Amino acid sequence: AQSVTQLGSHVSVSEGALVLLRCNYSSSVPPYLFWYVQYPNQGLQLLLKYTTGATLVKGINGFEAEFKKSETSFHLTKPSAHMSDAAEYFCAVSPSNDYKLSFGAGTTVTVRA
Amino acid sequence: DGGITQSPKYLFRKEGQNVTLSCEQNLNHDAMYWYRQDPGQGLRLIYYSQIVNDFQKGDIAEGYSVSREKKESFPLTVTSAQKNPTAFYLCASTKQGLAGDTQYFGPGTRLTVL
């Protein structure tokens, strides 16, 4: 079985500041890891994913995440926040032998001018 | 443009009524999924289908039913047996339903029970 914990349901950052969203997972087999973004009343859009290979993954809109097996983490970062980054972000995990995704509870990001 | 469409965007239902939410994709994807989203709880899987005429229950299937008669379509019926149906419902699809496949999401249907 797998599970996902996102630390902090709300994060507030100033425009231009670092965005850091934390995600820890548990999985009985090697995981595949995903970050999705959701704007109000819309569906989810993939930001990035890790399956195999390089542990630092770059995604859309300047986001990146690093898979750290020893820490069972997959934190999402962006060096400089933009007003358009205000949204809800979901971390998700699937075991490498199953297609079913388990989602975290989400983190809402607010960007202050 | 390829994508997933869901209709209606907003749906109001009286208690005791069944309602059907539409999900259509033109991505030529084999697998389709239905999720329920409640505030602060992330997404929970209701049903999924990896191939036409076959589907499996997810984690919270009670009070819901689905059909998969065509590759492009995966409608969800919320029955009167679902005790708390007010939620945001999301449909998704993947190319083959394999581990690691990216899930593509529709824009969602917000269901409110009056």
| A30 vs A22, higher pLDDT | A22
pLDDT tens digit sequence for A55-76: 999 999 999 999 999 999 999 9
CA angle A55, A48, B55 (to 5 degrees): 110
Q: Does B1 have pLDDT greater than 70?
A: no
- With pLDDT > 70 as the criterion, what percentage of chain A qualifies? 100
pLDDT confidence of residue B78: 96
Structure confidence at residue B60 (pLDDT): 95
Calpha distance B7→B100 (Å, rounded): 28
What is the rounded average pLDDT of the residues B59-72? 96
Nearest to B40 among A9, A43, A94 (CB): A9
Q: Which of A82, A98, A90 is nearest to A48 (CA)?
A: A90
Q: Tens digit of pLDDT for each residue in B9-29?
A: 999 999 889 999 999 999 999
Confirm if B18 and B4 have CB atoms less than 8 A apart.
Answer: no
Of A51, A99, A105, the CB nearest to B42: A105
CA–CA gap between residue A28 and residue A38 (Å, rounded): 28
B10 near A CB under 8 A = no
B95 contact A CB<8A? no
The 10 Å Cβ neighbour count of residue A86 is 16
Q: What is the number of CB-based contacts under 8 A between chain A and chain B? A: 62
> In chain A, what residues touch B44 (CB-CB under 8 Å)?
103
Mean pLDDT, rounded, of chain A:
94
pLDDT tops 80 at residue A1: no
What whole-number distance in Å separates Cα of residue A101 and Cα of residue A3?
9
pLDDT at residue A104 is higher than 70: yes
C-alpha A54 chain-centroid distance:
17
